[in-house]
Every structure is written in structure tokens, then in C-alpha cells.
Amino acid sequence: MKKAGQVIISVFVLFTLFVIGSKAVERYRQSGTEIPQTQVTDDKRHYILVTYFHGNVRCESCRKLENYTKTMIAGAFQKELESGLVEFRSVNVDKPENEKYIDKYGLTTKQVIVSELDNGVEKRWKDLDRIWSLLDDEEGFKMYEEMEIRSWLNEVKK
């Protein structure tokens, strides 16, 4: 009888944790920042592409990386997004059509890559490799990414 009570309590606790976790995930999904779609569709432009690479399995930290990046870009580069000077995309490398990026960029985990594209050709790229060490410092994370992207933008605008 004592074991049955312990099992019932354990099941109740697990169920409660599941419900709380599910609600937290749903709140997170609903709070996602939307990046305005680039207005310029001409591949004959010179722009900065910021890509968040992820897989099918996405933990809380991985989602945080993407959310920090999206909110920073939406806030700091609104004019550049609207004009097409900056573009953001999220790419799932577990999809067969995206596996090519694993070798191209040496992807080993969830990563943010900044690329300079000119007339549809990638001229250079950089892995923003400090994002994982700044994961617990949202302000520092966003400042690091913004500084990197701004330095690239200054060169593109020349």
C-alpha cells in the first residue's frame, strides 16, 4: 500500500512537471520575435546575411541563441532589414538540402554565421564563435553580435 501511494505521488509530480514544461514551451514559441521580410529580392545586391544553423533537436539554450540573435537584429538593424542590406535566416542542417552547410562552414553545433554576399556570390564569412560563451549574458551576447555585424556593414556600405 505504501508503494502504491509513492507511485501515485510520483506520477502526479511528473504529470505536473510535464504540464508546466509544456506551457513554458508554448509561451516561448508565442514570444518569438519576427524578423521583417526583406523587401529587396534582387540577387544583384551587396548585403550581409546572418544565418542561425540548427538541427531537428533544439534545446532551451539553442532556442535562446536564435531568439537573442533575432531580437538583436530586429531592434538594431530595422532599417537595414527593410532595405535588404541585412538579411536573417534560420537553417535546419538536418534537412537533406541543407547538409552542404555542415562541411562548408565546419558546423559542429548550433552556430551563427555572418556572410557578405555580392551579386549572389558569397565573398567571405565568419563564425560568431563567442555566442556560446555569452549565452548567460544576453546583453553581452547581443552587443557582440551587433558589433560584428556593424563592422561588416561599414565595409559593405563603402
Greatest distance between any 2 Cα atoms in the chain: 78
Domain positions in the chain are 1-31, 46-157
**Res. 154 pLDDT band, cuts 50 70 90:** confident
Higher pLDDT, 28 or 1: 1
Alpha-carbon gap, residue 132 to 12, rounded angstroms: 36
Q: How confident is the model at residue 10 (pLDDT cuts 50, 70, 90)?
A: low
Look at the domain 46-157 and name its fold: Glutaredoxin (3.40.30)
All three cell numbers of 137, joined, read 549574458
Place of cell 521583417: 36
Specify the pLDDT at position 156: 77
**What would the mean pLDDT of 18-28 be, rounded to a whole number?**
46
What mean pLDDT comes out for the span 133-143? 95
